[in-house]
Chain A
């Protein structure tokens, strides 16, 4: 039996330690590697006013030394086994990973145990990391598309904390203190709020013994609070225009998306494939390469008509309703009102006439292929197991394929009619200002 089929069809070993730590183990024996991921059920949606970006900053701090791993010894611990390591934070989750030779397993578990229980948060390290994160934010701002995405998301939400960027707002990054970071860390980094995933050239019973030894003694904590805020219905179209010096115009249109566990999610996934081509169904794989999209509605309607140079759609499984966003890069000489009108014409076509059986069949085939392609490494297999367990609940992953197969053209038509309406959309424009005109204006002001 192939490992790809194992991932989808045969059970991953799932256990919970006495301290509440959930452990998922999946055997893949095609390479002498092991991938370890530790997932925490905390993300930027758990941040209150003045604290935006704290989850992500905490993630950074968790690479800066622990009681038993001085910072200068952290470097090299994974590399010794030929390994790579990283971490990421998004709206629902924070995660840490290492993939290395299988002999590294005990070392990797030791690192995750230290990270969970013994972070140091030295004040000078917190300060040094503050400017690193501000630099990360500034790098993102250099990209007009990313800047517009941030503004559109912030405009689409009035109440829900999904509205602020995961990296945080700059004033909060300037004002947060070491105690804010440490308090957040201690609240959420407890074994009963985590899932540990191990995939690779391992044997489950042996892995569990090692996990118990490394992390079984970490005491559980109070169940961390999670903000529960429901976004009120949107009553009318919202618009945001970002004007900055630049060379290219960008357009985004966002609608409120279903949470991954809502019945509308899978028809929306097929709708997105019809509009812009099927991506992988998780955060990491969703932006890996250009999807097969040349027969998609937006590609044929906008790129082939030389109105846009690129189009994309983003529907990512999230715990609560996030946004479904279409993004377009305008061709030179095409103004934003014309591009917007052409994009909305494509949307209205689907809302009035639906999609064809052929389009639904193509979307299903594309998604089926993606489910196979996503299982190309122990790192990607472990990522999916942890992502879905943390964000959507454990049943979601196993039912992915069947849920896609069951989507009908009628369901896609229905979801387009209900969800892609004019009154619930947020439209964002990035209008480039001619840098020469800005220069002249600046010169005038200085004089």
Chain B
């Protein structure tokens, strides 16, 4: 037999004296626990003269601490079947992993140790920097990655941190030194910048006690982050083509700068994006490009609001001969939704879908931990899983229409296309 658990989240939240925030959600699906330690130390906080510093910091973070060598960390984690994932984003570096419940205390200790006490050994810095350079060279050969990188540069320009390449450049990463990493860690990895989310089969009280023990005494001072600059205005369209030899398909990245996550228009924008490029196989975008014209295997849009104004991106991969047709189809769909708005039926369908998908989003420990991180980052409240349906249900046709009308102007779009050169197509 199985045991039903109460529906909805009931996370426990504590703020330590040093300023770190702990969030724990008990679950009983599997005897496993997901640990998600997210620190506000992502790419926007690195000096603009060293793009990629935050990324390289993430690569070396778990390669030796004051009390454990890289080999010991590797052995302690491998022996328990655990691999740490360290993801560097615009605002955050997130150290995440899933372990068996029986290994929770040991694995939590290692995760916190890598965040608090990394020593960035010279040999490790050298190796991980070289791996980053390899990865950058692989990216140069990847049309999908290149198209998105160039689109971000077109959208945000050189003076906004969102326009910087997340992994840096070959030139900047080659210059990164151990001293840069140590300095970045000392300034950015502070207790009040850490949110630790734990979801899984562990008693909340024990998880909180263990986390408090591991984080106790960590330096608590922090300074305010400088405000993000306003993103550049776009009064006309910009397009760029990147030629990459030896490729079969062209990747299109088409976008606009949208809104901040805490913008009151957020839910209207969310529903608008669902109608444009998500619902079903990929909303109106996929209906046109894939279903009606048979041009692409993938065609969709994403909305990524953040602390600053995040982008709405439209993506498609097409035969090089069809690039112009596909961009015309995106122009048509974005332009039509912008000028006419959605139908009542589309609004109702998208609302029903988004509300109905919340239990799936919160089914796994990893999903819950990630949700709790957003709740904390944006101050959404511990009952946000129950509030969210109300926000979505309250979205009106006028709000979605306004969101589309504000944003979807093809004559102000930024468009990047990466693929085989025209003569090779």
A332 to B365, CA, bound (A): 38
A435 in contact with B245 given A101-B356, A306-B127 (CB within 8 Å): yes
Indicate if the CB atoms of B80 and A309 lie closer than 8 Å: no
The answer to whether A283 has its CB under 8 Å from any CB of chain B is no
The listed residue (B29, B75, B143) touching A30 by CB distance below 8 A is B29
A294 in contact with B357 given A247-B138, A435-B246 (CB within 8 Å): no
Indicate if the CB atoms of B140 and A247 lie closer than 8 Å: yes
A2 in contact with B30 given A291-B83, A362-B79 (CB within 8 Å): yes
The interface bits of chain B over 117-153 (1 if a CB of A lies within 8 angstroms of the residue's CB, else 0) are 0000000000100110111011011111000000000
Residue of A nearest to B249 (CB): A138
The answer to whether B99 has its CB under 8 Å from any CB of chain A is yes
A48 to B141, CA, bound (A): 35
The listed residue (A84, A294, A372) touching B74 by CB distance below 8 A is A294
Say how far A282's CB is from chain B's closest CB, in angstroms: 16
Residue of B nearest to A374 (CB): B30
A82 in contact with B357 given A245-B245, A248-B141 (CB within 8 Å): yes
Residue of B nearest to A132 (CB): B294
A336 to B76, CA, bound (A): 32
Indicate if the CB atoms of B29 and A376 lie closer than 8 Å: yes
A3 to B358, CA, bound (A): 21
Indicate if the CB atoms of B134 and A295 lie closer than 8 Å: no
Say how far A57's CB is from chain B's closest CB, in angstroms: 12
Indicate if the CB atoms of B7 and A32 lie closer than 8 Å: yes
Indicate if the CB atoms of A142 and B359 lie closer than 8 Å: no
The interface bits of chain B over 68-96 (1 if a CB of A lies within 8 angstroms of the residue's CB, else 0) are 00000111011111110100000000000
A260 to B363, CA, bound (A): 31
Indicate if the CB atoms of A306 and B130 lie closer than 8 Å: yes
**Helix, strand, loop or mixed for chain B's interface?**
mixed
Residue of A nearest to B124 (CB): A304
The answer to whether A433 has its CB under 8 Å from any CB of chain B is yes
A295 in contact with B78 given A76-B349, A82-B352, A331-B130 (CB within 8 Å): yes
Indicate if the CB atoms of A33 and B360 lie closer than 8 Å: yes
Indicate if the CB atoms of B356 and A83 lie closer than 8 Å: yes
- Of A150-158, A205-213, A408-416, A438-446, the one touching chain B: A438-446
Indicate if the CB atoms of A295 and B317 lie closer than 8 Å: no
Indicate if the CB atoms of B137 and A247 lie closer than 8 Å: yes
Indicate if the CB atoms of A135 and B2 lie closer than 8 Å: no
User: Which residues of A (1-49) have their CB < 8 Å from a CB of B?
Assistant: 1-6, 27-33
The listed residue (B281, B296, B297) touching A75 by CB distance below 8 A is B281
Indicate if the CB atoms of B134 and A331 lie closer than 8 Å: yes
A80 to B245, CA, bound (A): 44
The listed residue (A6, A32, A133, A244) touching B297 by CB distance below 8 A is A133
- Contact residues in B for A247 (Cβ distance below 8 Å): 137-138, 140-141
- For chain B, which range describes its interface: under 10, 10 to 19, 20 to 34, or 35 or more residues? 35 or more
A369 in contact with B353 given A135-B319, A248-B141 (CB within 8 Å): no
The answer to whether B307 has its CB under 8 Å from any CB of chain A is no
Say how far A290's CB is from chain B's closest CB, in angstroms: 5
- Contact residues in A for B262 (Cβ distance below 8 Å): none
A372 in contact with B83 given A79-B353, A246-B246, A332-B137 (CB within 8 Å): no
Indicate if the CB atoms of A292 and B77 lie closer than 8 Å: yes
A30 in contact with B297 given A101-B359, A247-B141, A376-B366 (CB within 8 Å): no
A377 to B349, CA, bound (A): 25
A442 to B246, CA, bound (A): 12
Say how far A248's CB is from chain B's closest CB, in angstroms: 5
A368 to B101, CA, bound (A): 13
User: Which residues of A (92-145) have their CB < 8 Å from a CB of B?
Assistant: 99-101, 127-139, 141-144
The answer to whether A186 has its CB under 8 Å from any CB of chain B is no
- Contact residues in A for B297 (Cβ distance below 8 Å): 132-133, 135-136, 139
Residue of B nearest to A32 (CB): B359
Indicate if the CB atoms of B5 and A30 lie closer than 8 Å: yes
Indicate if the CB atoms of B141 and A33 lie closer than 8 Å: no
Indicate if the CB atoms of B355 and A82 lie closer than 8 Å: yes
A304 in contact with B295 given A6-B2, A135-B317 (CB within 8 Å): no
A76 to B140, CA, bound (A): 38
- Contact residues in A for B355 (Cβ distance below 8 Å): 82
Indicate if the CB atoms of A79 and B30 lie closer than 8 Å: no
A32 to B357, CA, bound (A): 11
Indicate if the CB atoms of B29 and A289 lie closer than 8 Å: no
Indicate if the CB atoms of A438 and B130 lie closer than 8 Å: no
The answer to whether A373 has its CB under 8 Å from any CB of chain B is yes
The interface bits of chain B over 11-41 (1 if a CB of A lies within 8 angstroms of the residue's CB, else 0) are 0000000000000000111111000000000
Indicate if the CB atoms of A80 and B248 lie closer than 8 Å: no
Residue of A nearest to B70 (CB): A294
Indicate if the CB atoms of A135 and B127 lie closer than 8 Å: no
Indicate if the CB atoms of A82 and B363 lie closer than 8 Å: no
The answer to whether A365 has its CB under 8 Å from any CB of chain B is yes
Indicate if the CB atoms of A80 and B246 lie closer than 8 Å: no
Closest 4 CB pairs of A and B: A82-B356, A369-B81, A245-B246, A245-B245
Contacts A373-B81, A378-B363 aside, 12 further interface pairs with beta carbons under 8 A come to: A2-B29, A3-B2, A30-B363, A31-B29, A99-B360, A132-B290, A135-B317, A141-B247, A303-B131, A306-B130, A435-B246, A438-B246
Q: Which residue numbers of B lie inside 8 Å of A, CB to CB?
A: 1-5, 7, 27-32, 73-75, 77-83, 85, 98-100, 127, 130-131, 133-135, 137-138, 140-144, 201, 244-249, 251, 279-281, 287, 290-298, 317-319, 349, 352-360, 362-366, 423-424
| CB<8 Å pairs between A and B, sample of 13 | A31-B29, A100-B360, A133-B297, A141-B248, A245-B246, A294-B77, A295-B75, A331-B134, A332-B133, A372-B32, A376-B366, A438-B245, A438-B246
